Chain A
Amino acid sequence: MSMRTLPLVFINLGGEMLYILDQRLQALNTSEDNSEKGVWSENDRKRVMNGIVGAMFSKDFMDELLKPQQLYSHRTLKTVLTRIAHASIMRLNPASMDRLYELMVMAFKYQIFLCPRPKDLLLITYNHIDTIRELVKDTPVVVNQVDETHRKIIEVYSSLPEGEFQLLRQTLLIFFQDMHVRVSLFLKIQVQNPNGRFALSTSGPVPHGIDVPGLIRTFDGKGREVRRSEFPSGGSYSSSVREGCFELHGDRVIRLGMDMYTVNHPEETHTSKDTFVKTDNTPNLLAKEELNLLARLMGSMKAEKEPKAETGFWINLFTTDQEEEEAGASGLAEEPLFEVINIQAMQDEQVTTELARIAGQFAEEEPPGNLSSSKGDDLLAMMDDL
Chain B
Amino acid sequence: MYHKEKSIQIKNSASALYNNLGVLRIAPRSLTYFTVVHANVVNMVSASWDGLNYSHRQLQSKEPNVATSTSLIMQAAFCALPSRDLLVVTSQKGIQIYESDGSTMVYWHALDTPDTPTDQAVFARGISAVGKSYICVGDSSGSILVFDVPSKGSNITLSDVLKGHKKSITDIASECSGSQDCIADLISADDGGNLCVWKSGEEFQRFNNIPGFDISCTSVKLWKGTAVAGYGTGQIRLYEAVTGILHAEVNAHARWIYSLDIAPFSGLLLSAAEDSLVRVWHLSIKPESLSVEVAHLHNECVTDTQICGAKFCDGDGHAFAVTGYDLSEIIRYTQS
Contacts and interface: CB of A to CB of B under 8 A. Distances in A.
A3 B72 CA distance: 13
Interface in A44-80: 67-73
Interface in B205-241: 214-216, 232-235
B216 A113 contact: no
Interface residues of B, number: 66
Contacts of A68: 117-120
A369 interface: no
Interface stretch (B2-10, B173-181, B250-258): B250-258
B304 A193 contact: yes
A232 B304 CA distance: 19
A211 B65 contact: no
A167 B17 CA distance: 9
B128 interface: no
B256 A166 contact: yes
B277 A235 contact: yes
Contacts of B249: 216-217, 219
Contact of B234 (A71, A193, A210): A210
B67 A216 contact: no
Contacts of B253: 213
Nearest to A230: B296
A202 B277 contact: yes
Given A212-B254, A216-B248, A163 B232 contact: yes
Nearest to B297: A231
B46 interface: no
Interface string B293-305: 1111001010111
Contacts of B250: 215-217
Interface in A275-289: 282, 284-287, 289
Contact of B168 (A163, A209, A211, A287): A163
A382 interface: no
B167 interface: yes
A171 to B, nearest CB: 8
B68 A211 contact: no
Interface string A222-242: 010000000111110100000
Interface in B268-292: 275-277, 279, 289-292
B285 to A, nearest CB: 12
Contact of A215 (B215, B251, B254): B251
A215 B70 CA distance: 41
A212 B275 contact: no
A209 B233 contact: yes
B119 A200 contact: no
Contact of A162 (B17, B66, B232, B246): B232
- Taking each of B17, B119, B291, B303, which has the highest tally of chain A beta carbons within 10 Å of its own beta carbon? B119
B110 interface: no
Given A197-B304, A218-B293, A210 B121 contact: no
A221 B290 contact: yes
Contact of B247 (A113, A174, A212, A219): A219
A113 B121 contact: no
Interface residues of A, number: 64
A223 B291 CA distance: 11
A202 B299 CA distance: 12
A373 B263 CA distance: 69
B69 interface: yes
Contact of B67 (A178, A221, A233, A287): A287
B159 to A, nearest CB: 28
Nearest to A291: B67
Given A70-B69, A166-B232, A211-B235, A173 B256 contact: no
Interface in B144-158: none
A7 to B, nearest CB: 12
Contacts of B191: 161, 163-164
Contacts of A134: none
B133 interface: no
B121 A170 contact: no
Interface of B: 12-13, 15-17, 38-39, 65-70, 72, 74, 92, 117-121, 123, 167-168, 170, 191-192, 214-216, 232-235, 245-256, 275-277, 279, 289-296, 299, 301, 303-306, 325-326
23 contacts: A1-B92, A68-B119, A72-B69, A113-B306, A116-B255, A161-B191, A162-B215, A163-B192, A164-B191, A173-B325, A177-B326, A206-B234, A207-B254, A210-B254, A211-B233, A213-B252, A213-B254, A213-B275, A216-B248, A218-B293, A220-B291, A235-B254, A286-B67
